[in-house]
Amino acid sequence: MTRKSCQKKMELSLLEQKTIPENLPPPTDKYKLKYQQYEAEMKEGYKQYSQRTVENKINSAQFQESSRKTAEKEDPQPEDRSDHDLSALDEKALLQQCYTNNPYTIQHSIRKLEAEEVAAERRKQTVVEQVMVDQLSRAVISDPEQSTNTGTYQRDHTFAGLGTAPLRFRKRTLHETKIRTRSSLTENMLSNKLRFDGRILSRNGRDACRELIGFFFMYDRSLTVYEYRQFGKNRTNALPFIQKGVYSYQRGQRKGQQYDLNDLHVGANLTFLSCNLSLPESIKQNAIFTLRVTNIDEAAMDILKTTSVGIKQDITQQEIDESRVFRIVQGILKEKLSKRGVRVVTRLGKYFRELDHKGDGAFSKAVFKQALTLFHLEVPEKDFESLWLILDDNGNDKVDYGEFTRAFIGEMNEYRKTFVRKAYMKLDFNKTGRVPMVDIRKCYCAKKHSQVLSGDATEEEIKSSFLETLEHVCSNPSEVSYCEFEDYYEGLSIEIMNDEDFVNILKNAWGI
C-alpha cells in the first residue's frame, strides 16, 4: 500500500468519525429486533420476487408449448370436428372479439380523423391534377387526325419536283395554336367526372394493396384508373394504371354492356381484359381481373345524376334471383361458422392454396364439394347447383377459390376491409405482400385489451394467443402473406355485428 493511499484512508476514517455525534445513545434491544425483522422481510421479499420472475418465464414457455400441443391434438384435421365443437384455437381467436374498447379519447380521435382526411384529400388532389395534365396535354397529340397527310405536313418548295419531301424538311403543324380537331378536349369537359377509389380482387398482397383512384367522364362514358405511389417520405407520383377508354363488362349477365354512371357504387365489381392493358405480370396471369369500387365521391354523384339524362338502369330479375341465392347459402353457413369462423376460414384458404399446384387458383366443382364436406360446410344440393351456375358463367367447370369463398361464406364490407388493408400496409412497408412473423410480434399491441386492463390476463398471454392462431394457418410459419392476414380477419368479422367494434380491434392491435 502506498503512502498516498494510506493518507487518504486515514482522512476518510477521520471524516466518518466526525459525522457521528459523541453523545449518540447506543441502540436499544427493541430497535435491534425491529431492524432484524425488517432486514429478514426485505431478503424474503426479494427472494420471492426472483422466484416469481423465473416462474413466470417458465410458465409462459410452458403455456405456449402446451397450447400448441393441445391445438394439434384437439384439431388435427378439419373433418375430425363436429359443427359446434370449439378447439383451443377457437377460444383464443374469440379473445380478439373482446378487444373492442375505443383506443383513443374523443379529442384524440377527432384530431386523428382530421389528419387522415387531410392526407387522403392531398393524395386524391395529386391524382386529379395529374389526370387533368395528362389528358389535356396529350389530347391533341394523340388525335388520329394529326397522323393523316391532309393538312398535317407542308411540303418545302425547294423539293417541289421531287414529290414527297424528305422527312427532315417536312414542317409539322402539330404545335401551332390554330389546330382544328373534332376530338380536342377542354377542361370543362373533363371536369364533368366522378371520382372513385378501388382495389384489385387478388390474393397477391402486392396487387391487393395498390392504392387506385379512378375517374368516370360523362362526356363520352369513358373511365381511367390511376395508381398513387409513394417513394420514400417526400416523393409521390400518380401513374396511369388503366388507360382512358370506353370499357364494358367482361363477365356476368351484363357481359358486353358499357359501364355507366349507375354501375359505380360502393361494392361494385368492374371487370377488364388484362391482355388489352399495360398491367403488371402478376395481374396478367388471369385473362380477366376485377376491380372493386371501395368509395365514391357522393357529392359529385348527386350532381351528375341530376344534370344527366338517359342513365337509368334497372336491376334485372335474374340479378335479384342471384342475390337471393347468395343470401340463402351464406345464411346457412353463417350459423355453422358461429364461434369458429377464424379457424374454418383460415384453414379453408390454406387447404386451397396447398392444392393450387398450377398457381391459377381455379378448381372444379368436385374439389369444392369435397372441401365443403371436409370442413362440415355442406349446403343443400339444389342451392349448391344454383350458386355454381352463377359462378361458372363461362361453363368451363373452373372457378377461382377466392370468388368461391366470397360467394359461399360472404365477406366483410368495404369499410372494414379498408382498415384491414391499412393495418397490413403499415406492416408491409416494402410492399412485398409478405410480412415476417418477427415484425408481427413487434407491432402487435395488447396493452388495451379488456382482459389485460382487468388483470385477468397478461399482455404476453394475449399476444401469444393471437400469434398461435395466426401461425397455425400460415404456409410458412416465419411469415404472413396478405391472403392469410385477410382470411384471419374475415373469420373474425363473421360474429362481430357492429362495424366500429371490428374497427376498434384493428386500431387497438395495430395502432392505425
CATH number at residue 356: 1.10.238.10
Contact 259, 247 (CB under 8 A): yes
Spatial separation of the C-alpha atoms in residues 104 and 507, rounded to whole Å: 9
- In this structure, the answer to whether residues 398 and 500 fall within a common structural domain is no
Q: Which residues of 244-261 are buried (b: 16+ CB within 10 A; e: fewer)?
A: beebbbbeeebeeeebbb
Contact 88, 96 (CB under 8 A): no
- In this structure, the answer to whether residues 218 and 335 fall within a common structural domain is no
Instruction: Give φ, ψ of 412 to 5 degrees.
Output: -65, 160
- In this structure, the answer to whether residues 327 and 396 fall within a common structural domain is yes
Number of neighbouring beta carbons within 10 Å of residue 237: 13
The SS3 of residue 93 is helix
In a domain, 421, yes or no: yes
- CA-nearest of 418, 365, 424, 423 to 390 is 365
- In this structure, the answer to whether residues 203 and 294 fall within a common structural domain is yes
Cell of 420: 384491414
Number of neighbouring beta carbons within 10 Å of residue 229: 14
Cell of 197: 377509389
Q: Which residues contact 461 (CB under 8 A, 6 or more apart)?
A: 60, 63
- In this structure, the answer to whether residues 195 and 229 fall within a common structural domain is yes
Helices assigned H by DSSP within 260-316 = 281-284, 298-307
pTM for this entry: 0.72
- What total of structural domains would you count in the chain? 3
The SS3 of residue 500 is helix
Domain limit, last residue, from 291, 314, 337: 314
Contact 266, 416 (CB under 8 A): no
Instruction: Give φ, ψ of 411 to 5 degrees.
Output: -150, 160
Domain limit, last residue, from 372, 391, 408: 408
Output the tens digit of pLDDT for each of the chain's 512 residues. Answer: 555 565 655 555 544 444 445 565 666 777 777 777 777 777 777 677 666 666 655 655 554 555 445 444 444 445 455 445 667 777 777 778 777 777 777 777 788 888 888 888 888 888 888 888 888 876 544 444 444 444 444 444 544 555 555 555 555 454 444 445 445 667 778 888 999 999 999 888 889 989 999 999 998 899 999 999 887 777 888 889 999 999 999 988 888 899 999 899 998 999 999 888 888 888 888 888 899 999 999 989 988 888 876 555 566 777 787 788 888 888 888 878 877 888 889 889 999 988 888 878 889 999 999 999 898 888 888 888 888 888 888 888 888 888 888 888 888 999 999 999 999 999 998 888 899 999 999 999 888 888 888 888 888 888 888 888 888 888 888 899 999 999 999 988 988 888 998 999 898 889 88
Contact 420, 489 (CB under 8 A): yes
- In this structure, the answer to whether residues 365 and 426 fall within a common structural domain is no
Domain range for 354 is 319-408
Q: What distance, in Å, lies between the first and last C-alpha atoms of the chain? A: 65
In a domain, 502, yes or no: yes
Domain limit, last residue, from 284, 314, 344: 314
CA 388, chain centre distance (Å):
28
- In this structure, the answer to whether residues 375 and 459 fall within a common structural domain is no
- In this structure, the answer to whether residues 293 and 324 fall within a common structural domain is no
- In this structure, the answer to whether residues 324 and 293 fall within a common structural domain is no
- In this structure, the answer to whether residues 194 and 305 fall within a common structural domain is yes
In a domain, 78, yes or no: no
User: 362-363 and 212-217: which strand pairing?
Assistant: unpaired
- In this structure, the answer to whether residues 298 and 325 fall within a common structural domain is no
Angle at 285 between CA 279 and CA 291, to 5 degrees: 55
In a domain, 36, yes or no: no
Spatial separation of the C-alpha atoms in residues 22 and 18, rounded to whole Å: 9
- In this structure, the answer to whether residues 389 and 417 fall within a common structural domain is no
DSSP assignment of 237-262 equals EEEEEEEEE--B--SSTTTTPBP-GG
